[in-house]
Structure 1
């Protein structure tokens, strides 16, 4: 989840929150590698006639406060949702939401997408959700992006056949950058939209998306599946997200919502255009 940090309530003590909701937090995800579907089945599944494993395991990478994972889990009780975030505060909030929901098919994991191959075995994941990942707009920080060719190549190793990577973002530059990355990593687009909420209004949402929507942001989204793996994938796209901003004055003026992390860049381009005018 990108950098709109949650406001901490008064008397919020991170360590106390993590301890209070520790029952739904898995601090050592690597120990479940290869057995998430069976090992994380709640005790109700062990009753007579109950399932022996979850139908599928899905990763919500950058889960934020956990609203998306909880709502998705509520709709599909036979699917295990692994809600992962690298921010301890987000882990605490997500664990609280999971605990209060009472849902047995969500587990919260402190971790990073850089280590998915350590956490999951080949073919173990039925889907990876990238909900509003941090765009890291500068070229020098591009290696930190979850939405890029390099991470898509990592995801190949843990996705089941036909499994999708699903991106949702408010950042038009990151979205257009990702469209260059999908074919480089040998993926095929299944769906793309520049107004995903309008096209799929019933999809699970998050607090972050609702907050952005109130500011005038549109959700851009895509789904892609791995095709034949490229033999020698090479990054050839422009890495600075500033290169993906609209450059003509008319489009720039129509861009009422500045993508997260690029407000200063957008302001500079607008001012430059005004001076030239």
Structure 2
């Protein structure tokens, strides 16, 4: 998701440094970013923040950290955190390729990937967030019983991800090819999800562990 560039975006985020880490201040010390020492779930690619802020509101006993590369998007996420007065959700301006530089090994309880860029061209395979180098990062930062949850409407990316994860030796706990048919109670619709579903696109979800 790309937004119009806001020249003041970085300054805005820095004024809310209690919610947004834009300089990797908490790299290696993520627990210091939060008021309470609780399980940690991360979302790689926040969208406009509906998913992660809803999770945080519904689960005050879990800490949530949204990872996003676009500072303009993070403005809206921070605004939602402030609107809801949430204490257990933060954001970090971070490239997904740098997860192992930010988190310690065995630190994260769950990773969410929601409607990631499919990068459909073969030459861009290494950019897909379910490519083996990213899977290696998730495995490193996740606890032994941690899980990866992945949602998309893109059939090609979903099929690619199933093969990539299987080849990596992951164990599938759920593979749902039509999530909104008998939609599970634990599903929280992202902005993209609502948009694509309204157009008739099937939403796919999988849950897996290493």
The answer to whether TM tops 0.5 is yes
Could you say which residue in structure 2 is the equivalent of 1:163? 146
Alignment of 1:176-255 (within 5 A): 176-198=159-181, 199-226=183-210
Q: Could you tell me how far apart the structure 2 residues matched to 1:149 and 1:93 are?
A: 31
Q: Greater RCO between the two (CA within 8 Å, min separation 6)?
A: 2
The number of residues matched between the two structures is 209
2:26–2:33 contact (8 Å) kept in structure 1: no
1:61–1:83 contact (8 Å) kept in structure 2: yes
Q: Could you tell me how far apart the structure 1 residues matched to 2:189 and 2:90 are?
A: 18
Whichever of the two has the greater Rg, that structure is: 1
User: For structure 2, which runs of at least 5 residues remain unmatched after alignment?
Assistant: none
Shift of 1:31: 3.1
Shift of 1:21: 4.2
Shift of 1:65: 1.0
Q: 1 or 2, which has the higher helix percentage?
A: 1
Could you say which residue in structure 2 is the equivalent of 1:23? 18
SS at match of 1:157: helix
Q: 1 or 2, which has the higher strand percentage?
A: 2
1:82–1:107 contact (8 Å) kept in structure 2: yes
Shift of 1:29: 3.2
Shift of 1:17: 4.2
TM-score by length of 2: 0.91
Q: Could you tell me how far apart the structure 2 residues matched to 1:30 and 1:13 are?
A: 20
Shift of 1:167: 0.5
Q: Could you tell me how far apart the structure 1 residues matched to 2:128 and 2:25 are?
A: 22
2:172–2:206 contact (8 Å) kept in structure 1: yes
2:4–2:72 contact (8 Å) kept in structure 1: no
Decide which of 69, 86, 92 is 1:109's aligned counterpart: 92
User: For structure 1, which runs of at least 5 residues remain unmatched after alignment?
Assistant: 46-52, 227-277
Shift of 1:121: 0.6
The structure-2 alpha-carbon separation of the partners of 1:95 and 1:141, relative to structure 1 and needing over 3 Å to count, comes to same
SS at match of 1:197: coil
SS at match of 1:196: coil
Q: Could you tell me how far apart the structure 1 residues matched to 2:17 and 2:33 are?
A: 15
Q: Could you tell me how far apart the structure 2 residues matched to 1:102 and 1:12 are?
A: 26
The structure-2 alpha-carbon separation of the partners of 1:27 and 1:95, relative to structure 1 and needing over 3 Å to count, comes to same
Q: Could you tell me how far apart the structure 1 residues matched to 2:185 and 2:155 are?
A: 20
Decide which of 30, 33, 38 is 1:36's aligned counterpart: 30
Shift of 1:202: 4.4
1:57–1:125 contact (8 Å) kept in structure 2: yes
1:30–1:120 contact (8 Å) kept in structure 2: no
TM-score by length of 1: 0.70
Shift of 1:41: 3.0
Alignment of 1:19-168 (within 5 A): 19=14, 21-29=16-24, 31-33=26-28, 35-37=29-31, 39-42=32-35, 45=36, 53-54=37-38, 56-168=39-151
Q: Could you tell me how far apart the structure 1 residues matched to 2:40 and 2:131 are?
A: 22
SS at match of 1:147: coil
